[in-house]
Amino acid sequence: MINKSFITGNIKTAFLFCGCLVMAWMTSMTSSYSQSICPEVTASSGDYYTGTGVTLSWTLGEPATETYQGSAVTLTQGFQQPESFTGFSTDLRVLLEGPYNGNMMNTSLNPIYLPLFQPFSQPPWNYFGSESVSSIPNTDVVDWILVELRDAPDAASAVSATAIAGKAGFLLKDGSITGLDGISPMQFNENILYNLFVVIIHRNHLDIMSANSPVVSGGIYTYDFSTGSGQVYGGSIGYKEIGPGVWGMAGGDGNSDGQVSNLDKNDVWSVQAGTSGYQSADFDLDGEVNNNDKIEVWSPNGGMGGQVP
């Protein structure tokens, strides 16, 4: 059956036969409006026709697999894709202070200690995404990272209530953030009404948010957090220069409360000191909780706090 549509133009012959839309002839058609039900489906049979000023797609007894558009019309039998639907990917780069070695980040947790399921399902994050892998995809993976997208008129108003999507993925040693295959950029299907702001969350480094909306080109939102303090909302208050002209997320937030304080040392580092594995007090991400984590990472950052609104 045909979904709710409004079509203007001239159609000489159009009829339904056994669930199929048959058009014997079609002339100039100018517009089509359809009820949006689902963004992506699978049909067992279908085809589409492209002519001068029009494109027609049809399926047999099922919603359409895709929406095809001509210069003056969009037409689909069944449920049509939303006109405002736009998918995009993110090309993001961020560095962590803890594992940074002056050039790239160490991958000491990979593969022995890295979990196969995203680690943000517990408090304080309570992110219940199902991201998991059967094995860590490549040797360049440093750790899991959580990306949250916010849609707001400006950075100051990009509070947590403006979040429109979140996704866990992998942080590579060069600072790239990828999907679960360790290669491809993250993909999102949300529509941006105002401006996009990106929040980066790590389990023992201070959260950051982009000070500006990423540059978009060809459906790819690009943002490099590492080039200066001005790349992050709040600047150097909650961000750190980890090398000459290189900026990264400040380590030492063992309890992930947004502050580097004595609680991180007394309640987290002191308890885990001398242990190995995927530990929250392993601030340099080398798989061991020892004095280096306290002296080299936690201590210099005491008093720092995240600035994500």
SS (H, E, C) the chain: CCCCEEEEEEEEEEEEECCEEEEEEEEEEEEEEECECCCCCCCCCEEEEEECCEEEEEECCCCCCCCCECCCCEEECCCECCCCCCCEEEEEECCECCCECCCCECCCCCCCCCCCECCCCCCCCCCCCCCECCCCCCCCEEEEEEEEEEEECCHHHCCHHHEEEEEEEEEECCCEEECCCCCCCEEECCCCCCEEEEEEECCCECCEEECCCCEEECCEEEEEHHHCHHHECCHHHCCEEEECCEEEECECCCCCCCECCHHHHHHHHHHHCCCECCCCCCCCCCCECCHHHHHHHHHHHCCCECCCC
Spell out the per-residue pLDDT of the chain, length 309, in tens: 434 333 333 333 333 334 444 343 333 333 333 344 444 445 555 665 555 444 555 555 555 555 555 444 445 555 544 444 458 999 999 999 999 999 999 999 999 999 999 999 999 999 999 999 999 999 999 999 999 999 999 999 999 999 999 999 999 999 999 999 999 999 999 999 999 999 999 999 999 999 999 999 999 999 999 999 999 999 999 999 999 999 999 999 999 999 999 999 999 999 999 999 999 999 999 999 999 999 999 999 999 999 999
> Global pTM?
0.73
